[in-house]
Amino acid sequence: MSMYFVQPTPDQFRVATAELRELSSPYARERLVYQPPVESPEQVRRLEAACQAVFEGLDAVLRDVCDGDVLQMAALCRATPPELQFLTHQTHQNWSTVARPDVITSAGRTVVVEINGDSPAGLFGLHDIIARTQSAFRQPSPQAPAHPTVAMRGLLGSLERSFGRPDGMVAICYWRHEQQAGPLDWQYELFARELRRHGVEAAHCAVEDLELGDDGVRLDGHPVQVIYRYFESPDPTDQDEFTVLKQLFALADAGRVGLYTGYRAEVLASKAALAVLSDETVVDRLGADLRKRLAAHVPWTRVLEPRQTTIEGHEIDLLPWVDRNRERLILKPVRGHAGKGITVGREVSPRAWAEAVAAGVRGGTGDHPYIVQQVFDPDPLPVAFVDASGEATVTRAPSVNGVFIVDGEAVAVLRRYAVNATGTININPFSGYAPSPVWSTA
């Protein structure tokens, strides 16, 4: 259905990627998908339904298993002691104020492999700027035209519902040490630019650069109305960051500044949450309809630790079973992003797998637990991308859908194709993926 997009010439590529070049984006040089995937609204709805099952499951576990005690829920999700002190802030926050679950389709099954419920799961700007670039390659069609969704509109709608139409600055904030993210730095400015494009005063900065006063927050002397939390949980040993976070929460509680996205999802929507949503000791206490949907959309996942559990209805001793079944499993740190620390069992030797499992078990005795998860192979899909020289690649590749969830609803989808030469199923920035917005026929 992407036949209505043509391969750009080098000159057309240069003109269409002007915005990306200004930001030093890698997609101004390579891996620019010029034939975006076009899906029906029904297919997007299937992706949305899978994500909604996960968030409904989190709500149900908190309500029905933990009796509404968010600290008990945090313990299930392996929150660290320093994180627990902030969980009672913004207690009515929706889990999915902002999230970007990773969802794959595998042999007809729609599976949520990552929740990405924390506020750094942005990429709203990346979605929209690539969609604008792709629009330059679109050709008139006698059939129903395809069109991209504007992801930032969904985000702005949520901001307005929370704080009214912003008439002051929105500061996109990260910790200073996160500013050293190298090639990812351009995404911070992209986020601010996209907000400004929609008429909202916006800037990005390190949290430590904010001026915190009794009367509110300023950045370079300019009043800040809303802080968009693009920062992650502080490291448990970093007391300076926790001190700043306490000040921010106090100002937000006093109404001196808006804090967009709370802390609950940051801590609880970790990779361990998928283990909670697939563990028989938890799920068996939920309603039948929800159990059925969770079984359909959540892969078998467990925290890596000595225990008895079940898989496919069979009792197993977890650690020995994991040692024997590396080819169907993947190890992931509970906290982390961008594919760091992940080990795919079938992509390593038995010895390397045993070492990774042992390291994960050791991490679980402290503040760095791991999960073990069933591997699902993404269905290969066609993709066509081009580089600045005009060289095009047309192939089929595994892909994962990043579903932008805002206030519980899908507002856009960014598909990432594994076009790297490594052969790994770990689709992440360091393996070199090709991203594309999913365009709609409606």
Please give the full DSSP string across 135-146, using - where no structure is assigned.
HTTB---SSPPP
Position 2 confidence tier, pLDDT thresholds 50, 70, 90: very low
pLDDT category of residue 334 using cuts at 50, 70 and 90: confident
pLDDT at res. 143: 66
> Is 397 within the bounds of a domain?
no
Q: Higher confidence at residue 85 or residue 412?
A: 412
The CATH number covering residue 329 comes to: 3.30.1490
Q: Do 159 and 209 share a structural domain?
A: yes
Contact between 279 and 305 (Cβ < 8 Å)? no
Same domain, 234 and 319: no
CB-CB contact of 343 with 330 (8 Å): yes
Whether residue 250 is contained in a domain is answered as yes
CA dist 261 → 62, 201, 231, 298, 305 (Å)? 19, 19, 11, 24, 32
- Please indicate, yes or no, if residue 266 is contained in any of the structural domains: no
Check whether 200 has a pLDDT greater than 70: yes
Q: Give the residue from 202, 229, 260 where a domain finishes.
A: 260
Any domain includes 231: yes
d(CA 108, CA 389): 37
- Give yes or no: residues 245 and 341 share one domain: no
Report how many domains make up the chain: 2
Judgement on whether residues 255 and 324 belong to the same structural domain of the protein: no
Kind of pairing between the strands at 222-229 and 169-174: parallel
Average pLDDT over residues 84-93: 70
Which band of pLDDT confidence, cut at 50, 70 and 90, is reported for residue 418? confident
pLDDT of residue 362 exceeding 80, the answer is yes
In a domain, 155, yes or no: yes
Are 154 and 256 part of one and the same domain? yes
pLDDT in tens, 3-13: 478 899 999 99
Scored b (16 or more CB within 10 A) or e, 56-77 reads bbbebbbeebbeeebeebbebb
Q: How confident is the model at residue 302 (pLDDT cuts 50, 70, 90)?
A: very high
Using 50, 70 and 90 to split pLDDT, how confident is the model at 368?
confident
Say if residue 234 is in the same domain as residue 323. no
- 217 with 310, same domain: the answer is no
Boundary-marking domain end, from 352, 374, 396 = 374
The model's pLDDT over 22-56, given as tens digits with 9 standing for 90+, comes to: 998 888 899 999 999 999 999 999 999 999 999 99
Residues above pLDDT 70, as percent of the chain = 90
pLDDT tens per residue across span 383-402 = 999 999 989 999 998 899 99
Rounded mean pLDDT, 104-129: 86
The 10 Å Cβ neighbour count of residue 36 is 26
- Asked whether residue 289 carries a pLDDT value surpassing 70, the answer given is yes
- What is the mean predicted confidence (pLDDT) over 124-135? 94
In a domain, 391, yes or no: no
Pairing of strands 222-229, 258-260: parallel
Tokens of 302: 């467990």
For the record, the structure tokens of 297 come out as 């959309």
Indicate whether 24 belongs to any domain.
no
CATH of the domain at 238: 3.40.50
pLDDT tier for residue 201 given thresholds of 50, 70 and 90: very high
User: Could you give the C-alpha distances from 28 to 22, 372, 388, 390, in angstroms and in order?
Assistant: 9, 37, 7, 12
Element (H, E) at 226: strand 222-229
Range of the domain at 313: 300-374
**Closest to 131 in 3D by CA, of 33, 42, 30, 48:** 33
Please say whether the beta carbons of 365 and 386 come within 8 A: no
CB within 8 Å of 289: residues ≥ 6 apart: none
Percentage of residues of the chain with pLDDT beyond 90: 59
Please identify, among 349, 374, 399, the residue that sits at the C-terminal boundary of a domain.
374
Q: Which of 186, 178, 182, 170 is nearest to 234 (CA)?
A: 178
Q: In which band, very low, low, confident or very high, does the pLDDT at 1 lie, cut at 50, 70 and 90?
A: very low
**Could you read off the pLDDT of 307-329 as tens digits, one per residue?**
999 999 899 999 999 999 999 99
142 pLDDT more than 90: no
Q: Is residue 2 part of a domain?
A: no
Q: What is the mean pLDDT of residues 146-168?
A: 90
Residue 424 has pLDDT above 90, yes or no: no
Query: What are the C-alpha distances in Å from 86 to residues 61, 71, 79?
Result: 20, 10, 11
